[in-house]
């Protein structure tokens, strides 16, 4: 599909190269036993080089996150290089040196400084060594030779690990465009960002405006995907602006479009979560504050008993109330209403309509929780807990 022009994000065939001023590609460097593409490169040809990024809040940060936090501190970046097939986390000083050498290799081939190259990695924690380093550096050379203005799809393919497909989205408004790609299927829990995301725009905005818009967008999108409650060591969302459109939109308008792209990519992450058979939206309303609504929704999203019940098509609303009762949110447990797929099964903390009226067989599942104490609301996206999820993660290292 091509980008639309009304501000609505759609899955895209171009992703990060939909915006003018960007080239990208994805190549096979031999990092994955499967032989699938594993190194991606996205280059901003300008004229602007503004950047903003958010990273995992996990205290156990991978080497590329430590490096990239320094890169974006001055608001300038010219490229993002990403590898799958190894997280380069807990790989010691050798791992950080590998990250630095990767940035230097990109800098040499595109003619910029290493301090202007963001580095991202994804894959198994603890994977490193000479073979990993040689593969990544080999991939940089191959990618530099294959950069193209229509290379977005190849880049999106090269960053996936347990994902079943690449994830891209684009929005185009009034002569400027935002395009993005994402990867993520496991360890999907928030910490400013969720998994690896690269977003590009040809709008002409300074780094402080990009940072403002990005933090506002991720707060209500990626930060509210909580598929399995497990926070990655490598989570990165980076936004680069080329300014190639020559248009400077209002920050509010840009933020709205950016949020649409982030929301679309977040939804794609949820729909591809490892082993999931239900995509669950937990909508909390009637909260005393937005933070309370998020806290309540996240508590339900991380409750394994609730998630297992949904997998079994069992509308066990008692597990919902038990989950929210563990929070410090303001509410009276005996004044809460719970609906599942449009059927109110609990009213004022007591049974309402019979549970057998609830149909949980559709993949899309909606849980509506009314706390009844205020005007605030929030929605958390999660998934059920399935046999396939357990099997996939029990065999991840093998």
Catalytic residue list? 194
Inter-residue contact 163 to 184 (CB < 8 Å): yes
Rounded to 5 degrees, φ, ψ at 58 are -60, 130
How many other CB atoms are there within 10 angstroms of residue 261's CB atom?
28
Reference 233, options 100, 132, 123, 373; nearest CA is 123
Rounded to 5 degrees, φ, ψ at 140 are -60, -45
* Residue pointed to by tokens 């009226």: 357
**Euclidean distance between CA atoms 41 and 108, whole angstroms:** 14
Find all residues with CB under 8 Å of 192, minimum gap 6, and list them: 54, 55, 56, 57, 215, 218, 223, 235, 237
**Euclidean distance between CA atoms 227 and 187, whole angstroms:** 8
Reference 294, options 172, 146, 189; nearest CA is 189
**Euclidean distance between CA atoms 212 and 210, whole angstroms:** 5
Instruction: Please tell me what DSSP assigns to residue 186.
Output: S
Reference 42, options 112, 141, 117, 127; nearest CA is 117
How many other CB atoms are there within 10 angstroms of residue 363's CB atom?
13
Question: 196: which 2 tokens?
Answer: 């690896």
Alpha helices in the chain (DSSP H): 63-71, 92-110, 130-146, 152-158, 207-219, 251-271, 290-301, 304-311, 317-324, 387-394
**Euclidean distance between CA atoms 177 and 3, whole angstroms:** 8
Reference 211, options 248, 254, 247, 264; nearest CA is 254
Rounded to 10 degrees, what is the CA torsion of 202, 208, 210, 214? 170
Dihedral sign for Cα atoms in the order 5, 7, 12, 17: positive
Alpha carbon separation from 303 to 200, 319, 322 (Å, rounded): 36, 8, 9
Q: Do you find a cis peptide bond into 47, omega within 30 degrees of 0? A: yes
């Amino acid at each position: 599909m091509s980008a639309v022009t009304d501000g609505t994000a759609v899955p895209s065939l171009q992703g990060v190269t939909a915006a003018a001023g960007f080239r990208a590609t994805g190549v096979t460097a031999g990092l994955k036993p499967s032989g699938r593409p594993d190194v991606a490169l996205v280059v901003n040809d300008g004229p602007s080089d503004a950047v903003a990024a958010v990273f995992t809040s996990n205290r156990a940060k991978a080497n590329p996150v430590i490096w990239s936090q320094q890169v974006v501190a001055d608001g300038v970046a010219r490229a993002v290089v990403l590898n799958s097939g190894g997280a380069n986390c807990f790989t010691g000083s050798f791992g950080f040196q590998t990250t630095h050498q990767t940035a230097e290799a990109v800098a040499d081939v595109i003619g910029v400084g290493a301090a202007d190259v963001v580095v991202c990695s994804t894959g198994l924690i603890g994977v490193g060594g000479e073979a990993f380093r040689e593969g990544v550096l080999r991939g940089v050379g191959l990618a530099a030779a294959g950069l193209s203005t229509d290379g977005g799809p190849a880049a999106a393919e090269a960053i996936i690990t347990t994902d079943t497909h690449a994830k891209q989205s684009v929005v185009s408004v009034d002569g400027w465009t935002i395009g993005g790609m994402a990867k993520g299927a496991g360890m999907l829990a928030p910490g400013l960002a969720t998994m690896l995301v690269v977003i590009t725009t040809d709008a002409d905005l300074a780094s402080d405006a990009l940072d403002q818009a990005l933090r506002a967008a991720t707060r209500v999108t990626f930060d509210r995907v909580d598929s399995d409650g497990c926070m990655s060591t490598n989570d990165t969302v980076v936004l680069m602006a080329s300014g190639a459109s020559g248009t400077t939109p209002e920050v509010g308008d840009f933020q709205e479009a950016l949020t649409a792209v982030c929301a679309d990519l977040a939804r794609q992450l949820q729909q591809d979560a490892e082993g999931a058979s239900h995509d669950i939206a937990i909508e909390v309303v009637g909260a005393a504050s937005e933070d309370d609504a998020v806290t309540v929704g996240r508590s339900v999203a991380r409750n394994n008993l609730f998630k297992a019940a949904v997998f079994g098509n069992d509308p066990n609303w008692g597990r919902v109330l038990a989950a929210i009762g563990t929070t410090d949110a303001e509410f009276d447990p005996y004044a809460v209403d719970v609906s599942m797929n449009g059927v109110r099964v609990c009213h004022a903390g007591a049974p309402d309509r019979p549970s057998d009226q609830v149909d949980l067989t559709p993949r899309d599942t909606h849980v509506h929780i009314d706390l009844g104490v205020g005007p605030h609301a929030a929605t958390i996206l999660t998934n059920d807990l399935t046999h396939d999820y357990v099997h996939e993660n029990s065999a991840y290292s093998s």
